[in-house]
Amino acid sequence: MDEINTYYKVVERAFEKLAPYYDAICLPISGVREQVADLIASGEGSRILDVATGTGAQAFAFAKRGHNVVGIDLSEAMIQVARNKNKTGKVGFEVVDATHLVFPNDSFDVSSISFALHDMPLVIREKVLSEMVRVTKSGGTILIVDYRLPKNHLGRWLVYHLIGLYESTYYTEFIASDFPGLLGKAGVQIALDHPVLLGVARIIKGLKLGKIATEAAQ
């Protein structure tokens, strides 16, 4: 319990400080937002939930393609930056804890989360994934962007130690964990697993399995 309280406090404080600089820090990964948004057919006006949206970069990339987006985040400071940039009626931002999504079952065509799961204790990560699955329609899409390690030994060693310097303590556990296995347990079938940013991160496109398929997979 202490670990979880500490996690909430650390997230709040860290992102309150980072919020004014966050967009500048993330400039090098802006292309990934477009790659993720391209995975959803445009023109259909899907209803999309961007979880742990931060300052909303991924949410805006979806909205630019005509989708209706809700971005949620724990940090008021990050959400305020997102709201200040919001010039479209296609996105709304709310302060919500991703472990208790305030939306009904099966209410989104797509849910997404970028660069956030590695930063969470395992129990929180599991709860966030299960909430994302709950609010996504059966057969709907779940998009995840997060760290991976490159294939070659030197690359793995370098990336692991470099990212470990600035990421939270949970990164080490996350990167060693069976992430595809965790997705399977949550009821997500991986349709695409695509390395980006020189193999340091991956985009996963998953499909929410129906109830019967989930039970058969377990």
Ligand X SMILES: C[S@@+](CC[C@H](N)C(=O)[O-])C[C@H]1O[C@@H](n2cnc3c(N)ncnc32)[C@H](O)[C@@H]1O
Binding site for ligand X (CB under 6 A): 11, 15, 26, 52-54, 57-58, 73-75, 78, 97-99, 114-116, 119-120
Of the CA atoms within 13 Å of residue 48, those in its CB half-sphere come to 33
The residue among 15 and 179 lying less far from ligand X, judged by its C-beta, is 15
Residue nearest to ligand X (CB): 54
Least spacing, CB of residue 120 vs ligand X, in Å: 6
Provide the minimum distance between the beta carbon of 210 and ligand X in the complex, in angstroms, as a whole number: 26
Q: Cβ closer to ligand X: 9 or 152?
A: 9
Nearest approach in angstroms of CB 55 to ligand X is: 7
State the minimum distance, in angstroms, from the CB of residue 161 to ligand X: 19
**Residues in Cβ contact with 83 at an 8 Å cutoff, skipping those fewer than 6 apart:** 93
C-beta of residue 190 within 8 angstroms of C-beta of residue 180: yes
Identify the residue whose tokens are 């990212």.
163
Nearer to ligand X, 28 or 43 (CB): 28
User: Of the two residues 107 and 168, which places its CB atom closer to ligand X in the complex?
Assistant: 168
Q: Which helix (H) or strand (E) holds 174?
A: helix 170-176
- Residue 50 contacts residue 62 (beta carbons within 8 Å): yes
Alpha-carbon distances, residue 157 vs 89, 101, 148 (angstroms):
45, 37, 12
